[in-house]
Chain A
Amino acid sequence: MSEQQQALVIEDDFDAAVIFSQALVMNGFQTEIIRSGDKALERLKDFRPALVLLDLHLPQVAGTDILAYIRSQERLRRMRVIVVTADPRMAELCQAEADLVLLKPVSFTQVRELVSRFRPAQQA
């Protein structure tokens, strides 16, 4: 159980992705950043991170479609998904499917603190 848990940040804005990713790193995750929807779907076919931080506003494939895909796959059943959006309406809609919904603007400190709930088991 010494292997680091993996996390995937799906966010098109470079700076936001860096900030989210850093917040995850500080919680003990090994993170990878993907900045478009289609690439994220592609990656999820053979990659099974413990946690996905998903921005709903993405080029190519919408974040909601990615969320729906994750929830439809039996093999991704145990994956935790944090949704990030600036649209309160979307936040409301994703409440049931996501493990956590963050409404933008969300600060580095906030993300860091909230993600601590999903810390890899050996550190919890």
Chain B
Amino acid sequence: MNLRSVFQRLMNIPVLDPDDARRRKLLNLILLTVTGFSLLLFVGAALAIIPRLLGGGGVIPDDLMLLFLGSLGMVIGGCFIFAINRYWSGVVASVLFLGLFTLMSAFSDNPEQVANGRSLFIFAIPILMASVILRPYASFIFAGLCSLIVALIGISIDYAPNIPAMIGFFSVALVSWLSARTLEQALADLRATNRELDRRVAMRTHDLAEALIRVQTESGKNQAILESIADGVIVFDATSTAAIANPAITQLLGLPAEDILGRSIMALTEQHMADDDREKMAVLLRGGMHEPSAKLRWDNKTLSVSFAPILDGSEHHSGTVVVFRDFTREAELDRMKSAFVSMASHELRTPLNAILGYTDMLKVGVYGALSDDQQNALERIAANTKRMLGLVNNLLDQAQIEAGKLTLYIGPFAIHDLLADLEATMGVLAISKGVEFSYTVENLPDVLLGDPQRLNQILVNLVGNAIKFTDQGYVRVRAYRHDETHWALQVSDTGAGIPKEAHSYIFEAFRQVDDPITRKYTGSGLGLSIVKQLTTLMGGEITLISDVGQGSTFTIILPLNPIQEGHHERATTGAGH
């Protein structure tokens, strides 16, 4: 421990009030100076006295003795006051010190000089000190005390009270009070500023700590999510360089993380993807396509890859999150499914068509004349085969739609012919049930654009349903202009109607309204689903107005100018390879 720190510790008073601490420290400094000075005087006096005492009965002069005892008293007093100041009270110590100092000043010279001469100035010292080490206003108290002492001493030697000196004392007190007060004020302001500053720093520190914790938890959470996610995830930055990769992706791609991170998309996909897939991937990463996902081949796997751009506040593209899913099995299933669909569509339909063909031939008498019963049996065979064929067609269409393999062939067709054909096939059915069937064409050109076969399929399904669920009344088909760019096909009946709560699901595959009233009707539950999907494929919309006992009205709104897809497959499910 060096001298400086010992000194510091001796001088500083450990109290909380900064004003008190400052004053007491100041008092300590003054005490140190006075005590140190007194110690020197005491040592000097002692050095003068000791030889005389040792010299044998030498007379010690009075003033020397006075100096010796006085300085000794001052040293002891200084230490005493220091102790009070340090361990008890700064105010008591200050009052004691200033009081003693004032008294000593009063007797430090002969009364004449004190009351009216050279020693008057000495009283300025306790007055000045009082304002600094006690309180600013204490200078006035000591100015009063000093005036009293000077007056009393003056009276004791028959002098008139020294008014100019007293005025001087109070002037000193005033100046001292002003400066001490200003100083204290400035210090108080400074402390307030510091406190405010401290408060702000503390606040900011707190905020920062909280934010750090938040970020840490957040990133911890994100990390946990990223690591536990079963799909492979790579985050690419704006330059299409892999910045983040999760454990699942390393497994999926069969590459260690260090072979993924920091590599550009082109470097990453090299030797694993075909060139056109690599190009596609790069374009998708730049956000160059609207589709958010793609099926891409990686080595011998099929991956379903989804892209989500990361946009910062200013809509600036700062990177892309890419999620990879192993689609190999699904792609294989898809492939098998479409293979099955195309096989089934041939293998199931061919024999049914043959049955119909032979039945027709029998009916027209190719193999000889028939009795009425035979003719009747052939009608039943034909009707049942057609029903079977319709069922098979619906199933296959559903499968084709699901596999994204259903293609529309858009071309010009005559709406009157379409509806006349419909009447030819469905009219018989209506008549056999005693239901009136009619159609109208309103405000439409003779020739429209569309896929007449699929439109026929839609109408056969809707009208077939309508006839099935109508026991009396009518089934009407209306073709009309809906608006500038759309036309509509409407099928309405006076049948059982469809309960409101069923409207939401009747267009789903394999759903029929499960109701005791309707259960008696048979069907695959595919008709409306196919109608809906065909309508969607045609860029149209289907609406239904119906309720129990109110009949039903299905309206299909179609564009007058459907998009012609040429030879492209209209994928509804985006089948894989």
Chain A residues in the interface with B (C-beta under 8 A): 13, 15-16, 18-19, 22, 26, 86, 88-89, 92, 103-105, 107-109, 112
Chain B residues in the interface with A (C-beta under 8 A): 346, 349-351, 353-354, 356-358, 360-361, 364, 366, 389, 407, 409, 453, 567
Some 7 contacts from A to B, beta carbons below 8 A apart, are A15-B351, A15-B357, A22-B366, A88-B453, A89-B407, A105-B389, A109-B360
Determine the distance from Cα of A33 to Cα of B351 in the docked complex, in whole angstroms: 19
| Cβ distance A57 to chain B, nearest Cβ, rounded Å | 9
Determine the distance from Cα of A103 to Cα of B361 in the docked complex, in whole angstroms: 20
Contact call A13/B350, Cβ cutoff below 8 A: yes
| Cβ distance B495 to chain A, nearest Cβ, rounded Å | 30
Complex partner residue of A88 from B354, B361, B407, CB under 8 angstroms: B407
Contact call A16/B366, Cβ cutoff below 8 A: no
Contact call A89/B353, Cβ cutoff below 8 A: no
| Cβ distance A92 to chain B, nearest Cβ, rounded Å | 7
Determine the distance from Cα of A14 to Cα of B357 in the docked complex, in whole angstroms: 12
**Cβ contacts under 8 Å, A19 to chain B:** 354, 357-358, 360-361
Contact call A15/B409, Cβ cutoff below 8 A: no
**Cβ contacts under 8 Å, B364 to chain A:** 26, 108-109, 112
| Cβ distance B507 to chain A, nearest Cβ, rounded Å | 26
**Cβ contacts under 8 Å, B351 to chain A:** 15
Determine the distance from Cα of A5 to Cα of B360 in the docked complex, in whole angstroms: 24
Determine the distance from Cα of A108 to Cα of B382 in the docked complex, in whole angstroms: 12
| Cβ distance A26 to chain B, nearest Cβ, rounded Å | 7
With CB as the reference atom, state the residue of chain B lying closest to A111: B357
With CB as the reference atom, state the residue of chain A lying closest to B386: A107
| Cβ distance B364 to chain A, nearest Cβ, rounded Å | 8
| Cβ distance A108 to chain B, nearest Cβ, rounded Å | 4
| Cβ distance A27 to chain B, nearest Cβ, rounded Å | 12
Determine the distance from Cα of A86 to Cα of B357 in the docked complex, in whole angstroms: 16
Contact call B354/A16, Cβ cutoff below 8 A: yes
Known contacts being A26-B366, A88-B409, A89-B567, is A107 close to B356, with CB within 8 Å? yes
With CB as the reference atom, state the residue of chain B lying closest to A15: B354
- Per DSSP, are chain A's interface residues mostly helix, strand or loop, or mixed? helix
- Most A C-beta atoms less than 10 A away, residue of B346, B351, B358, B360: B360
With CB as the reference atom, state the residue of chain A lying closest to B393: A105
**Cβ contacts under 8 Å, B354 to chain A:** 13, 15-16, 19
Closest A-B pairs by Cβ, 4 of them: A15-B354, A19-B357, A108-B360, A108-B357
Contact call B361/A104, Cβ cutoff below 8 A: no
Contact call A105/B360, Cβ cutoff below 8 A: no
With CB as the reference atom, state the residue of chain A lying closest to B356: A107
Contact call B366/A105, Cβ cutoff below 8 A: no
Contact call B361/A22, Cβ cutoff below 8 A: yes
- Most A C-beta atoms less than 10 A away, residue of B361, B389, B567: B361
Contact call B353/A16, Cβ cutoff below 8 A: yes
Contact call A105/B407, Cβ cutoff below 8 A: no
**Cβ contacts under 8 Å, B356 to chain A:** 105, 107-108
| Cβ distance B450 to chain A, nearest Cβ, rounded Å | 14
Known contacts being A22-B361, A89-B567, A92-B409, is A104 close to B366, with CB within 8 Å? no
**Cβ contacts under 8 Å, B567 to chain A:** 89
Determine the distance from Cα of A89 to Cα of B567 in the docked complex, in whole angstroms: 7
| Cβ distance B403 to chain A, nearest Cβ, rounded Å | 17
Determine the distance from Cα of A123 to Cα of B99 in the docked complex, in whole angstroms: 155
| Cβ distance B459 to chain A, nearest Cβ, rounded Å | 18
**Cβ contacts under 8 Å, B366 to chain A:** 22, 26
**Cβ contacts under 8 Å, B358 to chain A:** 15, 19
With CB as the reference atom, state the residue of chain A lying closest to B359: A108
Determine the distance from Cα of A16 to Cα of B351 in the docked complex, in whole angstroms: 9
Determine the distance from Cα of A30 to Cα of B360 in the docked complex, in whole angstroms: 20
With CB as the reference atom, state the residue of chain B lying closest to A14: B354
Determine the distance from Cα of A103 to Cα of B409 in the docked complex, in whole angstroms: 12
Determine the distance from Cα of A25 to Cα of B20 in the docked complex, in whole angstroms: 130
Determine the distance from Cα of A89 to Cα of B357 in the docked complex, in whole angstroms: 24
With CB as the reference atom, state the residue of chain B lying closest to A106: B353
* New contact pairs (9) apart from A18-B357, A19-B361, CB-CB < 8 Å: A15-B354, A16-B354, A22-B366, A26-B364, A89-B567, A105-B349, A105-B353, A105-B389, A107-B357
**Cβ contacts under 8 Å, A13 to chain B:** 350, 354
With CB as the reference atom, state the residue of chain A lying closest to B366: A22
**Cβ contacts under 8 Å, A107 to chain B:** 353, 356-357, 360
| Cβ distance A86 to chain B, nearest Cβ, rounded Å | 7
Determine the distance from Cα of A26 to Cα of B367 in the docked complex, in whole angstroms: 12
Determine the distance from Cα of A27 to Cα of B353 in the docked complex, in whole angstroms: 21
Contact call A16/B409, Cβ cutoff below 8 A: no
Complex partner residue of A86 from B346, B360, B361, CB under 8 angstroms: B346
**Cβ contacts under 8 Å, A105 to chain B:** 349, 353, 356, 389
**Cβ contacts under 8 Å, A26 to chain B:** 364, 366
Determine the distance from Cα of A92 to Cα of B411 in the docked complex, in whole angstroms: 10
Determine the distance from Cα of A90 to Cα of B3 in the docked complex, in whole angstroms: 109
**Cβ contacts under 8 Å, A92 to chain B:** 409
Determine the distance from Cα of A92 to Cα of B278 in the docked complex, in whole angstroms: 35
Determine the distance from Cα of A88 to Cα of B389 in the docked complex, in whole angstroms: 19
| Cβ distance B363 to chain A, nearest Cβ, rounded Å | 9
Complex partner residue of B353 from A22, A88, A104, A112, CB under 8 angstroms: A104
| Cβ distance B516 to chain A, nearest Cβ, rounded Å | 37
With CB as the reference atom, state the residue of chain A lying closest to B345: A86
Contact call B361/A108, Cβ cutoff below 8 A: yes
**Cβ contacts under 8 Å, A109 to chain B:** 360, 364
| Cβ distance B14 to chain A, nearest Cβ, rounded Å | 99
Determine the distance from Cα of A16 to Cα of B366 in the docked complex, in whole angstroms: 15
With CB as the reference atom, state the residue of chain A lying closest to B367: A22
| Cβ distance A88 to chain B, nearest Cβ, rounded Å | 5
**Cβ contacts under 8 Å, B361 to chain A:** 19, 22, 108
| Cβ distance B355 to chain A, nearest Cβ, rounded Å | 9
Determine the distance from Cα of A92 to Cα of B410 in the docked complex, in whole angstroms: 11
| Cβ distance B388 to chain A, nearest Cβ, rounded Å | 13
With CB as the reference atom, state the residue of chain B lying closest to A104: B353
